[in-house]
Amino acid sequence: MFLLLMEVKPAMFRRSISTFGLFIARYMVNLDASLKGLGLIVSLVSYHRNEEAGTRERKEGPVIAAVGYDFTFDLGDDSGFQNTVEFIAIVSASLLLTSLGLHGESVLIQGDNTSSLAWASGEKFRAGRSMAAAILFMQLQQCNEISIAGTEHIAGEVNPSDPLSRGKSPHELGYPPEVIYDLRDNPSIDTLITRMNPALTVNLRDDLSDLWQANQSCIDALKGTGGGWTHR
């Protein structure tokens, strides 16, 4: 079926040969999630050659986006959802980048949850709670070509996104207004995050087509003029 779709709609289901090459990430997304919400910090990165050591070193640049978002769904205190909400933060980062017009970019993902980082880099997911998020992630990968150049694990106690995922606002943490994004001001992102509720069951045979189409209408809005933002 996928081979047929590649022939019928090549623009949607084929990747250009250039997307299989090695990319240098121009953006880094630091992220974290709790059972209550998520935090995202997007910054520019650059690289310079250390001639003495013969290595390429990364230099972190200015922050271009800071997000603190409280989930609209209630997961209680069930720690079994933790890996999935961390993965939802990764998918939400891709939604944010899409809304900012960063198509065809390569990004570095930094977080403190090894499972979600492995799911994103390997594009392999556990069936069940992460299904809705995995479907949306693959849609974004297919239509946006925002590739993950690499993942980095950092300790939770030094993760700068941790307070953002636990109710602290970017404003409280000292981020300037021009880099603060409230995902509630983007109905498409807000809707898509709510749709990834890991407490809801997704049946691939019965639900995939409707879910894919509903997701796509929101993704199209993010890729349109203004990125779907109502107050920017």
With respect to residue 194, please indicate whether it lies within any of the assigned structural domains: yes
With respect to residue 151, please indicate whether it lies within any of the assigned structural domains: yes
DSSP symbol at 71: -
Q: How confident is the model over 94-116, as a mean pLDDT?
A: 92
Res. 17: pLDDT tops 80: no
With respect to residue 17, please indicate whether it lies within any of the assigned structural domains: no
d(CA 105, CA 187): 23
19-53: pLDDT as tens digits:
555 457 889 999 999 999 999 999 999 877 776 76
Task: Please state the domain count of the chain.
Answer: 1
Q: How confident is the model over 121-131, as a mean pLDDT?
A: 83
* Residue tagged 């407490």 (tokens): 199
Range of the domain at 104: 2-12+24-228
Res. 209: pLDDT tops 80: yes
For the chain, the C-alpha Rg in angstroms (whole number) is 18
160-188: pLDDT as tens digits:
999 999 999 999 999 999 999 999 999 99
Residues in the chain: 232
d(CA 55, CA 58): 10
With respect to residue 19, please indicate whether it lies within any of the assigned structural domains: no
DSSP reduced 3-state for 66: strand
The reported pTM is: 0.87
With respect to residue 18, please indicate whether it lies within any of the assigned structural domains: no
Q: How confident is the model over 122-141, as a mean pLDDT?
A: 87
Residue type, 121: S
d(CA 55, CA 48): 9
